Structure 1
Amino acid sequence: MQAPTGCMFTHIIRGGGRTITYRNAGVGCGFVGALHSGFCNWRIDFTYADIGNRRYRTSRGRPHNECEIDPMRNNAPPKLPRYGKACASLHANGVRRDTPCRHTTK
Structure 2
Amino acid sequence: MKIPTGCAFTHIIRGDGKSITYQNAGVDCGFVGALNSGFCNWRIDFTYADTNNRTYRTSRGRTHTECKIDPMRNNAPQKLPHYGKACAHLYVNGVRRVSQCHHITK
TM bracket (short chain):
over 0.9
> 2:77 matched to 1:74?
no
Once the two structures are TM-superposed, the CA of residue 7 in structure 1 deviates from its matched residue by 0.4
Between the aligned partners of 1:62 and 1:37, the Cα distance in structure 2 is: 20
Structure 2, gaps ≥5 residues long: none
Structure 1, gaps ≥5 residues long: none
The number of equivalent residue pairs is 106
**SS in structure 2 at match of 1:103:** strand
TM alignment of 1:22-37, pairs within 5 A: 22-37=22-37
Once the two structures are TM-superposed, the CA of residue 102 in structure 1 deviates from its matched residue by 0.2
Percent of matched pairs sharing the same residue: 76
- Corresponding residue for residue 4 of structure 1: 4
- Corresponding residue for residue 39 of structure 1: 39
Large movers: runs of 4+ above 4 Å: none
Amino acid across the alignment from 2:102: R
**SS in structure 1 at match of 2:52:** coil
- Corresponding residue for residue 96 of structure 2: 96
**SS in structure 1 at match of 2:80:** coil
Once the two structures are TM-superposed, the CA of residue 22 in structure 1 deviates from its matched residue by 0.6
**Superposition CA RMSD, Å:** 0.8
What TM-score, normalized to structure 1? Answer: 0.98
